[in-house]
Structure 1
Amino acid sequence: MSVYEFTAPSIRGEQVELSAYEGKVLVIANTASKCGLTPQYEGLQALYEQYADQGLVVLGFPCNQFAEQEPGSASEVEQFCKINYGVTFPLFAKSDVNGENALPLFKHLVAETGGQDIAWNFTKFVIDREGNVVKRFEPKETPESMTAELEALL
């Protein structure tokens, strides 16, 4: 099963078919605005800017499941990301990434990478141009640590 078979609500509430990103290399991350790892938004944005012309898209999924570190409304989250980190990559609606109510996309990402629950904010998944999950990067691994993996796929 490919990630392109999933849909997810954007931060503004529209359903987005991930097939819209077919043929792109994706980084899918669960994010949070009030986390010690929040500065990773900067690294994700830098990767997006550096490699967008080669087909990279970063998709951010705000999540409030970890110590309630994403408490704001959709518009507050969007404003925070733009003002503080210059985020221009697509953001999605606040979503669960673990448990019964987890977004189906994240259930798939977890299953494809060994089945371990997501431990914290800023778990990052790299997806190839065919929609296959290639690698999972844990929260403390920086966006910059994904460069070699991304360059190999681009």
Structure 2
Amino acid sequence: MALTRADVVATATRILRDYGLADLTMRRLARELGVGPGALYWHVADKQDLLVAVTEGLMARLPVHHDAAELACWLASTLLPVPDAADVVRVALAWRPEAVSALGAFEELASAAGVGAGVAPREAWARGALDLVLGAVSDHQEAARAAVARQSEPPAAGQAEARVRAALTRWSRG
């Protein structure tokens, strides 16, 4: 069976879920797929392109939301189970922001809510909302790693989602 971009992205996502970003190398990915590293470059230009594709995959099931807090909670619950997911999304934002569908969804919600007088304020609001979620996901994942290291109970995912909902609700009201 021929290797496809979908195979590459699915395997990269599995490595990310199982081991985190530090272990997602092109060499490891190639080894897991049973190919040489050069074969990957037929399907992805470089690691940044791979991380953009992983981000697109994570957000592929983005449902329509009518409320920014609901969108933020959905995004947090989607990213929390994936170690280092916030960092992966940040790479995608830097390289191809249009690939981060949640950013576009936050912009649409900002526009519908009448945020700002123009496009720039809506974009800034959407970036801020996304940053809030990514920060909460990173904080939660780091707290969970610290709890494991201390052999204590990790925080429940619901705590991060509740924090995101409360913060975004307050922030949306200005």
Greater strand proportion: 1
Q: TM-score, normalised by structure 2?
A: 0.25
More relative contact order, 1 or 2 (CA 8 Å, 6+ apart): 1
Pair member with larger Rg: 2
Greater helix proportion: 2
Q: TM-score, normalised by structure 1?
A: 0.27
